Structure 1
Amino acid sequence: MQTDDVIDQIDGPWIAQETLRLVEVPSVTLQEQQVCRLYEQQLRDLGLEVQVREVTPGRTNLYACLGGTGGGPTLMLNGHLDTIPNQNQQPVRRDGDLLYGRGTTDMKGGMAAILGAVRGLQRAGVRLRGDLLLTAVVGHEEPEAKKDGPLAMIDDLNQGRITCDRIVIVEGPDALWVMSMGSMVFTITLESERGGTHTQYVAFRDNPLRFLGDALSRIDALQRELDQGLVHPLAGPERIDLGIVQAGDYFNRIPTTCTLTGTRRWAPGRQAETVLAELQSLIDPIARDGGLRARVSMEHQREPFETPPDDPLVEAVAHAHRRVTSSEAEVVGKRIVGDANLYVHGSGIPTIYYGPSNETAHADIENVSIRRLESAARVYALSAMEYCGFE
């Protein structure tokens, strides 16, 4: 069977070698120029046509295509080439089955695994009907980049410069990650019209800090309601969390402005503006009671996404996982957000995640298993065969 040939032709040591080549090149967000050039060469070494899309000078998205014979849908395998900073300067090395270094699991290992998948298809003589796209983006990790690489790719999809029917992001656990909640960073601002003045001239019942406490109590009550409300079967209850409280400038002056900043995560089926309006409704009664001005602002947001379990891509990856691992793929959802949220809502293309692993992503000591890289590459190749069709 051709699937057996493909499995046999996917070579863990080769994938490990290509992973280490990538990891040896530092590529902190906004400093990806050198790794982009290396990955472009790795793609060309496989005989693939590569489209170089400049995002900012020297920083490029890369779009490569393993062309099909025609008559099948197009699948994209996607990931990012940038990493978080390597604060501990951990050395790049191999130790038995593990590869160490910043980016091994997040996510240069996955980017090497898709190279291994294409190489295995080629060496087994498989001719896909649909096209298989391999795309690499910059600007994923650090906020300073403002997701410029993923957003540039969305623009290219919408303008027809590249096309596909489904996307697999080769990041995360070796599971079918098919949904993520929406997420926003919000700030609640309470402002006093009387301005700052000595605390002895204002009763505590009129101090804006008391109403800040009321806001905290209402947020606590909201979380308890969410815990008892509609619970998503994959991601659990919605969440509201706080990380920053700011108020006051001196110990015996009432504050003019009090702020709460946090995150709100919500399930598919609602939009950010609706969730923001609910927060405003939560705070407005407190402001009226205290004679305060209340404003709820949204710093940035990602809408939720969910790809149904009977989607052809989900089924193809599930079948491939079963064939490669002799086990059923876990179907998961998460509260965290990522590029799939952007791709689904920006381009309308159904998207899922399936990665080699993510246990040590952003960890002080980051590593990835060669065995799991090889397994993931096999899953990517067999998924492409089922989804795109082959001859």
Structure 2
Amino acid sequence: MVGSDASGSIRERSDRIARHIDRARLLAIAERLISVPSPTGNAGGALDALAEFLTGEGIAVERPQADHPKAPAVVARLSAGAAGKTLQFDGHLDTVHLPFVPFGREGETITGSGSCDMKGGTAAAVEAMLAARDSGVLGGGSILLTAHDLHEAPWGFGTQFDRLISDGVVGDAVLIPEPLSGHLPVAGRGQACWKVTIRRDGPPVHEVMRPEGAPRVIAVGAELIRRLGELDARVAAEVDPVAGRSSAFVGQVHAGELYNQDPPTCWIEGTRRWVPGKDRHAIEAEFRSLLDELAAETGTAIEAEYQLVRDAFALNLEAQAVADFRLAYESIAGSPLPTGPKPFVDDGNSVWALAGVPAITHGPRSGGQHTTGEWASVDDLVRVAHTYALTAALFCPRGS
């Protein structure tokens, strides 16, 4: 619980926060998180490190399993001791399955696995919570900090975070420090990934020994690709002016072991994306119906592994949290933040789909996500911490 007051102009509150942002502490958090390998599904060590750091700072921490006992999530709260809104800072601590790169610093840039996506941003969010506490600007309401595993597909699909939301661990608005700093994303497409396997009866055989009339799985695969192309052309008419168009995409095709062998299986992988306003359940049903029709026509068995990554996303620019965030950003950066699309899917998509509250994706200037060359600007980590804390100072007391 924090004794604080929200009096004073936005400039006064911003200056107070700036004086209490501890650059060395922020870097210590980032180093501690990045130094622990945490590939998706195995982020328990990084989550433990965050929990230990917060406990050392006097912040009470809860560790709900949220259907993933191998790596319990981190849930921490900072209360002003007065009524108001809850602003959530959320970050995933898992990283893609690439060789681990330890923490490094080169001048005003940090490097290492997760420095961009998104341990650096999470460290900035933690510093924002601590700076809000130390500066006493939280005049009402509370900050909710969450961190979790199972974010990165195809090893995780956001299920731990989704469970936290379904269990009521969600704020009145959410800030997510993913590596996107140049614009405010206001719309994004939903995504599912799929793997289709086409099978015929019998073992692989030499092409001249194949039974007459037996299905040719490669030909069936080619027909499936053609029909998915037709689907892609049809859904191209579904366009969001910001997010872009719906799509059906094929990225991999595999079959056979030799040039003159007739294989019994062919498998194809790709994605399906859709614009805000489309029903993801109807989209999956349409995809499966297409496969069922082709299987019946060709005498093959066709199976699909269809996995939702995240639903589509839209941000209500009239929401109070969005207005407060934009005001905080402009007061610190000196210019407005333009709007634009969300090019990827993230946990903000889940917040919008499952909780219906505003979710703002905004993180530090950084790069190299999903590579071994990740980096983040230290100056921009400080800016993000400042922006998050000031947004909380504006938004949380509302309703108090």
Short-chain TM bin: 0.7 to 0.9
Tell me the secondary structure at the aligned position of residue 279 of structure 1: helix
Could you tell me which of 33, 58, 70 is aligned with 1:47? 58
Amino acid at match of 2:123: A
Distance 1:340 1:202, change over 3 A: same
Contact map agreement 1:29 1:82 (CA 8 A) in 2 = yes
1:102 aligns with 2:113: yes
Contact map agreement 1:178 1:353 (CA 8 A) in 2 = no
Contact map agreement 1:186 1:263 (CA 8 A) in 2 = yes
Contact map agreement 1:318 1:328 (CA 8 A) in 2 = yes
1:297 aligns with 2:304: yes
Q: Give 1:216 shift.
A: 2.3
1:70 aligns with 2:54: no
Q: Give 1:297 shift.
A: 3.1
Contact map agreement 1:182 1:335 (CA 8 A) in 2 = no
Give matches, 1:65-214, under 5 Å. 65-85=77-97, 87=99, 89-141=100-152, 143-144=154-155, 147-157=158-168, 162-174=169-181, 175-188=183-196, 190=198, 207=216, 209-214=218-223
Q: Give 1:270 shift.
A: 1.3
Amino acid at match of 1:304: A
Q: Give 1:94 shift.
A: 1.5
Distance 1:287 1:84 in 2: 35
Distance 1:326 1:202 in 2: 73
Distance 2:163 2:233 in 1: 40
Distance 1:234 1:298, change over 3 A: farther
Contact map agreement 2:322 2:358 (CA 8 A) in 1 = no
Q: Give 1:308 shift.
A: 1.6
TM-score between the two structures when normalised by the length of structure 2: 0.83
Contact map agreement 1:165 1:349 (CA 8 A) in 2 = yes
Could you tell me which of 269, 273, 282 is aligned with 1:265? 273
Q: Percent identity?
A: 28
Distance 1:86 1:359 in 2: 16
Amino acid at match of 2:114: G
Distance 1:356 1:213, change over 3 A: same
Q: Deviations over 1:268-291 (max 9, x none)?
A: 111223223433565667666x54
Unaligned runs of 5+ in 2: 1-11
TM-score between the two structures when normalised by the length of structure 1: 0.85
Distance 1:59 1:193 in 2: 42
Q: Give 1:2 shift.
A: 1.9
Distance 1:34 1:377 in 2: 24
Distance 1:358 1:255, change over 3 A: same
Q: Deviations over 1:116-143 (max 9, x none)?
A: 2123223322133111111111232364
Moved more, 300-309 or 207-216: 207-216
Amino acid at match of 1:217: R
Could you tell me which of 38, 41, 44 is aligned with 1:33? 44
Distance 1:203 1:308, change over 3 A: farther
Distance 2:207 2:349 in 1: 47
Q: Deviations over 1:156-190 (max 9, x none)?
A: 31xxxx45212222212123234331111234455
Tell me the secondary structure at the aligned position of residue 379 of structure 2: helix
Distance 1:199 1:361, change over 3 A: closer
Distance 2:305 2:275 in 1: 17
Q: Deviations over 1:342-369 (max 9, x none)?
A: 3333344432311113522122221110
Tell me the secondary structure at the aligned position of residue 60 of structure 1: coil
Contact map agreement 1:245 1:260 (CA 8 A) in 2 = yes
Alignment partner, residue 222 of structure 1: 231
Tell me the secondary structure at the aligned position of residue 239 of structure 2: coil
Tell me the secondary structure at the aligned position of residue 105 of structure 1: coil
Distance 1:235 1:148, change over 3 A: closer
Could you tell me which of 333, 342, 367 is aligned with 2:375? 367
Distance 1:214 1:133, change over 3 A: same
Amino acid at match of 2:317: P
Distance 1:285 1:144 in 2: 30
Distance 1:63 1:266 in 2: 32
Could you tell me which of 36, 56, 59 is aligned with 2:71? 59
* RMSD (Å), alpha carbons: 3.2
Tell me the secondary structure at the aligned position of residue 149 of structure 1: helix
Unaligned runs of 5+ in 1: none
Q: Give 1:266 shift.
A: 0.7
Alignment partner, residue 283 of structure 2: 275
Distance 1:322 1:209, change over 3 A: same
Distance 1:49 1:184, change over 3 A: same
Contact map agreement 2:148 2:160 (CA 8 A) in 1 = yes
Amino acid at match of 1:82: D
Contact map agreement 2:184 2:338 (CA 8 A) in 1 = yes
Amino acid at match of 1:368: A
Contact map agreement 1:191 1:294 (CA 8 A) in 2 = yes
